[in-house]
Chains A and B, each alone.
Chain A
Amino acid sequence: MVLVSHDTRVSPVTMAERAVAGLLEVVARHGLAKTTLDDVAAAAGCSRATLYRHFANKQALVDAAVGAEVQRFEAQLATATADADTLTDALTAVVVTSARFVDDHGALRFLFDHEPQAILPWLAFAQGDAFLAAVAPVLGAPAERFVGANQAVRVGEWVARLLLTSLTFADERADLTDPRRASALVAQFIVPVLQPAQSTPQGVAT
């Protein structure tokens, strides 16, 4: 959840942050379709008029929330992977951090569990390609210092597929918040592909 500034002066930036926090709070309780800007104003502790000065409509606020949450996610990813010594550690941290981000995210959780129609169209078929193209560089970035930029995007797409299918085909095998499971998947199926046997035989697990 985005923290509300303790500063009592309401600058345009903190107002937007409060609105985003309010939206996420309301969506986590009631979903997206039923949420109105009135609900968000109440949750954010501001007037409807103030909210409308910053956001023309609900979609504008949702867009702002997506942007803010992507930034927050990228910051978490950078922190979680900063100390990784190996490609396996870095990618495991990416998988676990991403899975926990969704798991801890009240609003996303509500949408996946109760309002999938609001989120799945952005993740599957033609839109899914656009989503993969957008997230692959983000998820792959921590791998870049191990495998270079091109392979990093490629592995980012692979990690995105792993995470997406764990959300859309959830079952007991799909829990990627578990570091042991995530690390096994990364080490068994993703890392060996990036270190093909013919070029670095010593890097191949047997």
Chain B
Amino acid sequence: MSEAELPARERVLEVAYTCVERSGLTRTSVEDVARESGVSRATLYRWFPGGRDELLRETVGFEVARFFGRLAEAAYGAPDFATMLEEVLVFAHRAVREHALLQRMLVEEPELLLPLLTTESHNVRPVIAEYLLPYLEVEARAGRVRTDADLAATADYLSRMILSLISSPGHWDLEDPTVVAELVRTELLGAVLHGG
């Protein structure tokens, strides 16, 4: 795909997203997206050689990327790593709860949606780990890291736990700032950073 086609491809994903909003994953077809985006079926199949499955996977991936973009924005400027993680968890928890389409898909089409969010989402977790790593490096330079694990392994571990908590908070009440502070400062970072 040429450089010039990228914005057009992104616009197609936005159109596909509105189709999914209206009709659900099952009933969104390549034809619908072609008609509403004004891009020919032939072009869509060239951009998404896997057809409908690939188009839907990319559409979900597009919204997931937007979601984590908003998450990164919400956490931008936090004074330290722990505060940043608190803001991430609070924001993500609220965003998941208030994401109307996500909540509807979880009820109506979980079997189609969940693989796209987990086993088939090949870069979500590594992207989060990459996002966390510079924060850990700052903490390490300040002498606040206590774990003997390397920072990449630490970022990897934290990315798993954060994704798990965003999906299923378990017994943690992520609407209570005191609970979130305890979760982050003891359970998540207690083994990683000195002090609390």
In the complex, what residues of A have CB within 8 A of residue B146's CB? 192, 204, 206
Q: What is the bound-complex CA distance between A190 and B149, given in angstroms?
A: 12
- Identify which of residues 142-196 in chain B touch chain A, using a CB-to-CB cut-off of 8 Å: 146-149, 153-154, 156-157, 160-161, 163-165, 167-171, 186-187, 190-192, 194
Binds B, one of A19-27, A45-53, A82-90, A159-167: A159-167
Q: Are B114 and A124 in contact (CB under 8 A)?
A: yes
- Identify which of residues 107-147 in chain B touch chain A, using a CB-to-CB cut-off of 8 Å: 110-112, 114-115, 117-121, 124-126, 146-147
Q: What is the bound-complex CA distance between A130 and B166, given in angstroms?
A: 15
Q: Are B160 and A165 in contact (CB under 8 A)?
A: yes
**Chain A interface (Cβ within 8 Å of chain B)?**
112, 116-118, 120-121, 124-126, 128-129, 131-133, 136, 154, 157-158, 161-162, 164-166, 168-171, 173, 184-185, 188-193, 196-197, 204-206
Query: A129 and B114 in contact (CB under 8 A), knowing A188-B149, A189-B147, A192-B190?
Result: no
Please name the residue on chain B nearest to A191 by beta carbon.
B191
In the complex, what residues of A have CB within 8 A of residue B6's CB? none
In the complex, what residues of A have CB within 8 A of residue B167's CB? 124-125, 128
Query: A193 and B168 in contact (CB under 8 A), knowing A116-B115, A173-B153?
Result: no
Task: Tell which of A126, A131, A189 has the most Cβ of chain B within 10 Å.
Answer: A189
In the complex, what residues of B have CB within 8 A of residue A162's CB? 160-161
Least Cβ distance of B160 to chain A in Å? 4
Pick from B96, B111, B160: contact of A118, CB under 8 Å? B111
Q: What is the bound-complex CA distance between A158 and B157, given in angstroms?
A: 11
Least Cβ distance of B120 to chain A in Å? 8
Least Cβ distance of A128 to chain B in Å? 3
Q: Check B78 for interface membership: any CB of A closer than 8 A.
A: no
Query: A193 and B190 in contact (CB under 8 A), knowing A121-B111, A184-B149?
Result: yes
In the complex, what residues of B have CB within 8 A of residue A188's CB? 147-149, 153-154, 157, 191
13 residue pairs from A and B, CB less than 8 Å apart: A112-B119, A116-B114, A116-B115, A124-B168, A128-B168, A129-B168, A129-B169, A133-B171, A157-B170, A161-B164, A168-B118, A171-B126, A189-B147
- Give chain A's interface secondary structure class: helix
- Give chain B's interface secondary structure class: helix
Number of A-B residue pairs at CB separation under 8 A: 113
Q: Check B39 for interface membership: any CB of A closer than 8 A.
A: no
**Chain B interface (Cβ within 8 Å of chain A)?**
96, 106, 110-112, 114-115, 117-121, 124-126, 146-149, 153-154, 156-157, 160-161, 163-165, 167-171, 186-187, 190-192, 194
Q: Are B170 and A133 in contact (CB under 8 A)?
A: yes
Q: What is the bound-complex CA distance between A121 and B153, given in angstroms?
A: 28
Q: Are A170 and B119 in contact (CB under 8 A)?
A: yes
Q: Are A121 and B125 in contact (CB under 8 A)?
A: no
Q: What is the bound-complex CA distance between A118 and B115, given in angstroms?
A: 10
- Please give me the 8 A-B residue pairs with the lowest Cβ-Cβ distance, nearest first: A128-B168, A117-B111, A192-B191, A120-B114, A165-B160, A168-B118, A161-B164, A121-B110
Q: Are B160 and A161 in contact (CB under 8 A)?
A: yes
Pick from B119, B156, B187, B194: contact of A193, CB under 8 Å? B187
Q: Are A173 and B106 in contact (CB under 8 A)?
A: no
In the complex, what residues of B have CB within 8 A of residue A165's CB? 125, 160-161, 163-164
Q: Are B171 and A116 in contact (CB under 8 A)?
A: no
Q: What is the bound-complex CA distance between A204 and B148, given in angstroms?
A: 11
